Structure 1
């Protein structure tokens, strides 16, 4: 790494220019080609996927290339089936049907739509079938043009559901907050700007590449938000660790060139190692086998890779350009005068904290474990599924649509299930007819209607996100349908958007333990290679799982229980979208590994030099706690800024990651880990000889440096 640092220092203007040229070139290609993001998701091998496949094969049935939506209206002061209302509605529906992409409209005033009319509540709706690529905004505009004080019109349903898109600039708030923290920490505007600039450049280059790659790989537009969220957090942190180590070198009297080389040969190695673990954790999401999720994981992994490249190439070049300006004026003046600004006779807060952990390790560990247990407890009640309009904020179009439809047609009006049948003979046909009659008597079923010769629409009594609707789907599959199929060749599959969500959630929860086990094993092996120890990696891997549980517990409490979700602008409590747990697990694992590596690598460096476990823990904690605390606070600001995006998925991931990082840094890394290592003693660094012979040698601390007494190095700014 020192060779790379010297090369970047000598060619600093060329390196910076190369990044600028790369950004311009990527931007030109991205702007010329546009994007090709897709919101379609590969369904897991499930019953709902089979139902959709059969539906697509059936002549005249809606397949994967169409979507269904609803236009609902409510009249005030006049009957919904009055002649003048019918005339106005006929004009509205004719206008909608004439729009490009609209394949059909079923009016409640026609025989086919007789069940779409509620004279008791003066509410009616029309079913609109659209091509998958139709312009739904035009349909919405055509419908809402008829909205008035006495004629309330709303649109909803699958076709009109807005998918989460790219962020709306909320990350700017997090960047500003990060800049403020860095200025306070470094007392230098240049030093504060460098981590921000490096992180932003790395993220910008990677997101431009993701936009270009969307033409070749199936990626959702949310991939940009996920990439920005993760990339900004880790990118700023990675640059922060290197800048901090470089400033320490300058304050110790090194030349600019030698200090950059030393920083990259120590913190730079840790950045590469930590970043690689984040990438591996993200790519590990492939075991979940959900296309939209693996697409996001690829995009996020590319972003992390670019932030690493920026940190080990662009940052050294910029540090070379700035020279001693990364120090505060007071520090530069002291160096010029020949003084030693690194010296301080007042112990810093980090030194005092390290002393407290050293004196009371058992109490510190017990307190940390209690906090973790309390915050993680809600995860035991986590439900995975889709939130529906009942949990949307009041006043939003989706909530207004639900509030019009539910009083007239029940809470389950938009949670319809599609029962698609294979009917190979007369006996199967008879059984299918009997099933149709039986379904109307099943608890939880509000209505049953034919949607074709071999297709039934079942309307639940409850909304899509409720446990009762999920129970109904399982009851149909496990009891009602098997009983109807007995002794015949009839095969009936339950599909529809609601059933698909349930299948995806079940598939995720079935594979999540495998993913957790995989990353725990991965964390143990990586830390064992890095530190040649058994107990340090074991404690690190288990603590990573604890942090993950805290993140998921926070998401459950806020977004499922609804403890504060209204304040975030995402509505009331609802099940957790299946994307959130996997992304939180993968990213939190990577970030936890980052802090573990930065903390323990400094401890291991001191242990290698002195063979004194207590001193190694005290020195490592003292010298890294300030930068870890600052890095975690910065990441909290960046993640929390996404929490106020107004998008439930993005907000859930941002808040979950933010709380997890905060607890991981202050409770796990700076309290629990050093306390446990203090209790364990010298056994921390024990490693079997046979394992030492077969383990690859990887140094993430670089060459050992002479140790310094802590009171002399504490409190430096």
Structure 2
């Protein structure tokens, strides 16, 4: 692989315009495919065969207008007074026109519902015989209102034909446009996330600031604008090809709205890092006096080889999300893996082409003036003091364990309207409904009852009698505010009810209520036998998805750990180094989950991170963080560990090799980590509620893994282990392939940055100095 990459780097440096034009054409093709197909992103999440999905499928098949997604529209007077007759008429007109949009099953006028309730109240007050069941049903539903007590707020429901997962963006946009253009004097209109455009805020100010911070780091590290611009150009090109190409398939494969954002985050971060690693190696060689094209080839064969293996670990970890059996996670992993793969390809082809064009200008003027100067060759290092290693281990483990404590109380869920930015229509709609009609109105559940013996759907008395039996059981449950009938199947074999809980959809009490309602099944009925109950609705669906993901996380984690051990054993030809690397990854992962829990669930530093209503952690955040942080942790492990192994096999004592590896990669790892933190951190302030915890989790995870684990804990443990760190059974050593991740087979003494057997205080780098072979070292 190293020799192939060296040849590829040499070719790209000699034919730069051919390579650059090829990638520009690839970008144009991806962009054209995206524009031709258009992005069709799902705003909801579903997992086949969950209890909620099974109930939803039944509702869609047997009851029109019940199984589809339901959006909430809130009308509120600006002055706080009751709606005038003219305003009511205009609201009714808007709702009627909304109901006529293709893809909308029905739109419920809040004033029609209020009038029906008033008429029923008068009828019940008359005391006419035979209305006992109707009176009971009315009492059970009395807390369900569509117009507030003071008459200043009204809530309308827009019921779509399709579920939230299948709902076409065009339908949502049409409804949103109808509402935005209503222009009712003295009335403000807000609507829920089921209607709001899911792509709003895909790239915002925070993301741009993060990219600018990354650019600043590059300028500081590389000392000039030209070399600093190369990683940015390469990463943006890779992201463009990867994300546009992936979106082109969104019409064929169901893709969640957060999927391209993950591709952008990873594509930018790893694209910058991988390019930077190759450029850094090339610059070191140029400073030592190497020929430009030969240095490009060598950098591509050595640093590029490490990039390929590092990228391969990220790709494998992301593709492994498909084994969870959760479709939307599999698609997210596949798209992110494709973006990372393209970033690797860009790094080992496009980057050498750019380096070939800029030539020696990849160095600053000051550095060019001192090419070949002894100052460019570092003194042979000494091993760190053992006491410092012990302190580093204790401090690093202590920091990570303390940071991980909040993860013990981790709750998973999907964000509701309370998690949206305070200036968004989704948040305002959610808040108004909670304040005027109760928090549970935002998390209405749908309960389906299937009697063993069907009821005669044409016999209203029999239907109401059965409805009363079922609702009486439902109302007896703790945290139920109201229950109302939602429909009866034509054959009488299925009845639907709307259940309003006390609290919102992401609350603990609602989660417990869903479990309690399912635990009621079956209900015994003298006339209809056993009645099976099922629960659906957005809140129920989120609970099921969260539970499914939580169940899949240990399996996925086991797969990732297994991959980590296998890959690292092959790369480093050691048993203990992989164990150290994997153990460090687990510590940084749980520390990152603890930090995410503290911020987004506990609400710590909420004002800084825009967490105004703490709630459960995004349910797929832990599993995504596991895959991404594993890959990035292996990146840093390879960058630092390969330097240690290279020094060790060339004859340096084991503890000195640790210092050599850290010093050779420290600058680029620190810069790469800061860049990743900047890019990911920019998404912490995204307008998309699902993106913010992902951005924060990745940023804090990189912070822990790069600075605490890879630069502090891992070198200290390697020092304490000494030569034993590189121990491996001879029989296993003979079985493993020689992947040469350091590209040692390409090294020539004249180009080698330094020889590590020189006594302390003597300049290194002379090609005539003796270097032990790996065989002699053993």
Q: How far apart are the structure 1 equivalents of 2:361 and 2:80?
A: 74
Q: Which residues in structure 2 correspond to 1:56-205 (within 5 Å)? A: 56-64=60-68, 67-73=70-76, 79=82, 83=85, 86-110=88-112, 114=117, 115-118=144-147, 120-122=149-151, 123-131=153-161, 132-133=167-168, 135-140=171-176, 142-143=178-179, 151-156=187-192, 158-160=194-196, 162=198, 166-168=202-204, 170-205=206-241
- 1:54 is aligned, of 44, 53, 58, to 58
Q: How far apart are the structure 1 equivalents of 2:235 and 2:285?
A: 22
Q: How far apart are the structure 2 equivalents of 1:663 and 1:470?
A: 33
Deviations 1:396-445 (A, max 9, x none): 32232233322332110020111112224159988765232111121100
Q: How far apart are the structure 2 equivalents of 1:86 and 1:17?
A: 61
Aligned partner of residue 334 in structure 1, secondary structure: coil
Q: How far apart are the structure 1 equivalents of 2:435 and 2:266?
A: 42
1:514 to partner: Cα distance? 1.0
Q: How far apart are the structure 2 equivalents of 1:157 and 1:342?
A: 58
**Contact 2:92–2:111 (CA<8 Å) still a contact in 1?**
no
**Contact 1:420–1:493 (CA<8 Å) still a contact in 2?**
yes
Are 2:75 and 1:45 equivalent residues in the alignment?
no
Are 2:472 and 1:437 equivalent residues in the alignment?
yes
TM-score for both structures, normalised by structure 2: 0.84
Residue equivalent to 2:593: 552
**Contact 2:99–2:107 (CA<8 Å) still a contact in 1?**
yes
Aligned partner of residue 109 in structure 1, secondary structure: helix
Are 2:546 and 1:491 equivalent residues in the alignment?
no
Q: Which moved more, 1:377-386 or 1:161-170?
A: 161-170
Q: Mark the CA change 1:93 to 1:647 in structure 2 (over 3 Å): closer, same or farther.
A: closer
Greater Cα radius of gyration, structure 1 or 2? 2
Are 2:403 and 1:372 equivalent residues in the alignment?
no
Q: How far apart are the structure 1 equivalents of 2:335 and 2:378?
A: 45
Q: How far apart are the structure 1 equivalents of 2:638 and 2:187?
A: 63
**Contact 2:564–2:578 (CA<8 Å) still a contact in 1?**
yes
- 1:402 is aligned, of 420, 430, 448, to 430
Q: How far apart are the structure 1 equivalents of 2:418 and 2:377?
A: 61
Residue equivalent to 1:339: 373
1:266 to partner: Cα distance? 1.4
Q: How far apart are the structure 2 equivalents of 1:712 and 1:390?
A: 64
1:571 to partner: Cα distance? 3.3
Q: Mark the CA change 1:40 to 1:92 in structure 2 (over 3 Å): closer, same or farther.
A: closer
1:99 to partner: Cα distance? 4.2
Q: Mark the CA change 1:400 to 1:691 in structure 2 (over 3 Å): closer, same or farther.
A: same
1:237 to partner: Cα distance? 0.5
Q: Mark the CA change 1:340 to 1:137 in structure 2 (over 3 Å): closer, same or farther.
A: same
Are 2:306 and 1:306 equivalent residues in the alignment?
no
Q: Mark the CA change 1:201 to 1:79 in structure 2 (over 3 Å): closer, same or farther.
A: closer
1:579 to partner: Cα distance? 2.5
Q: Mark the CA change 1:485 to 1:692 in structure 2 (over 3 Å): closer, same or farther.
A: farther
Aligned partner of residue 124 in structure 1, secondary structure: strand
- 1:236 is aligned, of 238, 249, 272, to 272
Aligned partner of residue 395 in structure 2, secondary structure: helix
**Contact 2:669–2:706 (CA<8 Å) still a contact in 1?**
yes
Residue equivalent to 2:448: 420
Are 2:650 and 1:609 equivalent residues in the alignment?
yes
After superposing on structure 2, the runs of 4+ consecutive aligned residues of structure 1 that deviate more than 6 Å are: 146-149, 427-432, 710-714
**Contact 1:566–1:572 (CA<8 Å) still a contact in 2?**
no
Residue equivalent to 1:250: 286
Aligned partner of residue 160 in structure 2, secondary structure: strand
Q: Mark the CA change 1:261 to 1:713 in structure 2 (over 3 Å): closer, same or farther.
A: farther
Deviations 1:131-165 (A, max 9, x none): 44464445445446667785444333634474666
1:565 to partner: Cα distance? 3.6
Q: Mark the CA change 1:205 to 1:141 in structure 2 (over 3 Å): closer, same or farther.
A: closer
Q: Which moved more, 1:375-384 or 1:71-80?
A: 71-80
Matched length:
703
**Contact 1:415–1:460 (CA<8 Å) still a contact in 2?**
yes
Deviations 1:447-503 (A, max 9, x none): 00000121011100111111111011111112x234558994422111111000000
Q: How far apart are the structure 2 equivalents of 1:176 and 1:90?
A: 49
1:393 to partner: Cα distance? 4.2
Are 2:679 and 1:675 equivalent residues in the alignment?
no
Q: How far apart are the structure 2 equivalents of 1:632 and 1:409?
A: 47
Residue equivalent to 1:590: 631
**Contact 2:65–2:106 (CA<8 Å) still a contact in 1?**
no
Q: How far apart are the structure 2 equivalents of 1:420 and 1:601?
A: 59
Q: Mark the CA change 1:377 to 1:712 in structure 2 (over 3 Å): closer, same or farther.
A: farther
Q: Mark the CA change 1:110 to 1:591 in structure 2 (over 3 Å): closer, same or farther.
A: same
Residue equivalent to 1:626: 667
TM-score for both structures, normalised by structure 1: 0.91
**Contact 1:36–1:215 (CA<8 Å) still a contact in 2?**
yes
Q: How far apart are the structure 1 equivalents of 2:703 and 2:432?
A: 42
1:6 to partner: Cα distance? 2.2
Q: Mark the CA change 1:341 to 1:496 in structure 2 (over 3 Å): closer, same or farther.
A: same
Q: How far apart are the structure 2 equivalents of 1:713 and 1:539?
A: 33
Q: How far apart are the structure 1 equivalents of 2:90 and 2:373?
A: 86
Q: How far apart are the structure 1 equivalents of 2:576 and 2:468?
A: 64
Q: Mark the CA change 1:194 to 1:109 in structure 2 (over 3 Å): closer, same or farther.
A: closer
Q: How far apart are the structure 2 equivalents of 1:491 and 1:421?
A: 6
Residue equivalent to 1:33: 37
**Contact 1:331–1:341 (CA<8 Å) still a contact in 2?**
no
RMSD of aligned residue pairs (Cα, Å): 2.8
Q: Mark the CA change 1:432 to 1:692 in structure 2 (over 3 Å): closer, same or farther.
A: farther
Aligned partner of residue 25 in structure 1, secondary structure: helix
1:85 to partner: Cα distance? 5.3
